[in-house]
Amino acid sequence: MAKTISKLGVFTSGGDSPGMNAAIRSVVRTCAYHKIQCAGIYRGYEGMIEGDFVPMDARSVKDIINRGGTILKSARSDEFRTKEGRKKAFDQLTKAGIDGLVAIGGDGTFTGAMIFSQEFDFPVMGIPGTIDNDIFGTSHTLGYDTALNTVVEVIDKIRDTASSHNRLFFIEVMGRDVGHIALNAGVGAGAEEILIPEEDLGLDRLLESLRRSKSSGKSSSIVVVAEGDKIGKNVFELKDYVESHMSEYEVRVSVLGHMQRGGSPSCFDRVLASRMGVKAVESLLEGKTDFMVGLINDKIALTPLTKAVKGKSDINLELLRVSEIMTT
């Protein structure tokens, strides 16, 4: 028998991403639209265990759709990995009259939500928020599009100085152990080489490609390296290796780091967040639980959390071929 929801809790967890605030806004306003209460939970599962809640209404989320980060903060919680910690969270939610959850985060967030839901028969719905785009069941996670635009903008700037000094740049981007950011931003920025964990090209292949670029008259080169790349070396060792094998290049390194997690969300991420928030709340109100809201073939769709946390987000092989052709 589906539970009736009277008060929803919403929280953000794991690495923050642009669009999380837009999703919070959508969840809160959809609750207001359906005349059910909503509480913000600060700092993810850590705040849930501490009962760090704040009532939220339609006005609580004004002027945040355009803000990066998350007004509810985020944190990683070891205590929630324990049954005792989850019981504390359950007791806090019960005390606050919260009878359903919308979890905005990545696969770690959803794993915790799934276990919690099963242990306490507690309705949960997931919204994929991470720049990595590494979650099964959606073509886009919240923040991915914004991160791509941030990375392309930065690479364009680096290319100015690379071409001024005839330098080769290794640019490391985020993505944890997948290469979506590197591949898409690399193609978008016209990188000469893109190194991703899904494809181990090997160092010889890299040198051969760089030599080909040089002999074709390219005076500078940009190599985008996914942080999870398995070529066997970190980006600084890659620099040393190439410098020792290609005296014709002066090599520099830029590690973009956490700037990729910030910034005002793109229109795409704002619209996606708004769509996902409505679907998450209305799915809970329809009695559904343990699903993740995703974008599949441009439609908002539900994927069981069990699949979302176990599935893989495959690299786009057609785009991989495009990148190979573009680096001719």
Binding stretches for ligand F6P (CB under 6 A):
15, 106, 130-132, 174-176, 227, 261
* Token reading at 226: 């996914």
CA distance 71 to 79: 22
Rank residues 15 and 47 by Cβ distance to ligand F6P and give the closer one: 15
Backbone angles phi, psi at 309, to 5 degrees: -80, -25
CB of 16 to ligand F6P, least distance (A): 8
Catalytic annotation on 132? yes
Q: Which is nearer to ligand F6P, 51 or 262 (CB)?
A: 262
CB of 10 to ligand F6P, least distance (A): 20
- Cβ atoms of 100 and 121 within 8 Å: the answer is no
Q: Is the CB of 51 or the CB of 188 nearer to ligand F6P?
A: 188
Q: Report which of 107, 68, 126 is spatially closest to residue 260, judged by C-alpha positions.
A: 68
C-beta of 238: minimal distance to ligand F6P in Å?
A: 18
Indicate which residue of 107, 132, 269, 290 is catalytic: 132
**Cβ closer to ligand F6P: 132 or 290?**
132
Cβ 272 to ligand F6P, closest distance in Å? 17
DSSP alpha helix (H) spans, the chain: 20-33, 44-50, 83-95, 107-120, 144-164, 180-188, 203-215, 235-245, 267-285, 305-310, 317-326
Q: Are 214 and 248 in contact (CB under 8 A)?
A: yes
Burial class (CB in 10 A: 0-12, 13-18, 19+), 321: exposed
Backbone angles phi, psi at 16, to 5 degrees: -70, 165
Return the active site residues.
132
